[in-house]
Amino acid sequence: MMTLAQNEPNNGQPVMQTPPVVSPQDWEAARQQLLVKEKAHTRARDALAAERRRMPWMEVSKTYAFEGPGGKLSLVDLFQGRRQLIVYRAFFEPGVFGWPDHACRGCSMVADQVAHVAHLNARDTTLVFASRAPQADIIRLKQRMGWIMPWVTITDSFDADFGVDEWHGTNVFYRDGTRIFRTYFVKSRGDEQMGGTWNYLDITPLGRQEVWEDSPKGYPQTPTYKWWNWHDSYTEGAAPDKKWVEISDAGEKAFRQEAAEGRD
């Protein structure tokens, strides 16, 4: 075992106390040791998501109005016909650092991380950003930054009623016909993991909707991996591509075999 030079001058910067440098065999042993804890973390995360899917719901009885590129929208409209809605409150308005050229730097980093929304849409889920800036400014900002997620203007007490009038946050809603329910809320550091398709789905009441998940009876679930597609190729109601089914089945079989042998 050896270590990097720990005490050499570094242009006035604090000296880094780096870990030891080891052989490939010792490095792999250390990785396997850490992997045990990482797997426990993954299982705990899945269990937490399963518990989240069993949280009680709160019915939203008040009506809310937003402005979109085409005019006025209700909260029901934001679902775009889907059952699940995720609303991220982004700060872009007079008084916010960066206005009018930019939204809040933190909210902008969140926006930069958002995966292609087609994957969420394929799971009956709509993602919407909401701010108090007028639509003309939002449209200009989206074009400048290359963002494609729907982004509406808050016109009433929606932000105050759902805990995002003074700080960013993500609210999740479920629609049953015209009835709307608030199912989850996360803010502060909980928001920093948002952006990926999986993390968004894990905070929704229906989850990823794959058969391996621990979900309440009757929740929609489809075979694992089979619904995945290129973001420009989703077709509503289409059966999974046969070749992709073969490939994903083979991959899943290999993964399950490794898991059974403790090698994953």
The pLDDT tens digits for 132-143 are 999 999 999 999
> Residue 22 has what pLDDT?
97
> Residue 197 has what pLDDT?
97
Q: What percent of the chain has pLDDT over 70?
A: 94
Instruction: Examine residue 228 and state whether it is found in any structural domain, yes or no.
Output: no
Instruction: Examine residue 77 and state whether it is found in any structural domain, yes or no.
Output: yes
Question: Which one, of 17, 84, 11, 91, lies nearest residue 53 by Cα?
Answer: 84
Across the chain, which has 264 residues, the per-10-residue mean pLDDT values are 56 88 97 96 97 98 97 98 98 97 96 97 98 98 97 98 96 97 94 93 98 97 94 92 90 76 62
| Main-chain phi, psi angles of 152, to 5 degrees | -110, 165
> Residue 256 has what pLDDT?
76
Q: What is the pLDDT of residues 205-239, one digit of tens each?
A: 999 999 999 999 999 999 999 999 999 999 988 89
Instruction: Examine residue 145 and state whether it is found in any structural domain, yes or no.
Output: yes
Instruction: Examine residue 61 and state whether it is found in any structural domain, yes or no.
Output: yes
Instruction: Examine residue 195 and state whether it is found in any structural domain, yes or no.
Output: yes
Asked if 122 and 234 touch (Cβ cutoff 8 Å), the reply is yes
Q: Which CATH number belongs to the domain containing residue 128 in this structure? A: 3.40.30.10
Instruction: Examine residue 136 and state whether it is found in any structural domain, yes or no.
Output: yes
Instruction: Examine residue 131 and state whether it is found in any structural domain, yes or no.
Output: yes
Pairing of strands 179-187, 58-59: antiparallel
Asked if 90 and 131 touch (Cβ cutoff 8 Å), the reply is yes
Q: How many domains does the chain have?
A: 1
Radius of gyration of the chain (CA): 22
Residues 6+ apart with CB under 8 A from 162: 87, 89, 169, 171, 182, 185
Q: How far apart are CA 173 and CA 188, in angstroms?
A: 19
Instruction: Examine residue 11 and state whether it is found in any structural domain, yes or no.
Output: no
- pTM of the entire structure? 0.91
Question: What domain range is 95 assigned to?
Answer: 56-201
Q: Which two tokens stand for residue 13?
A: 């910067």
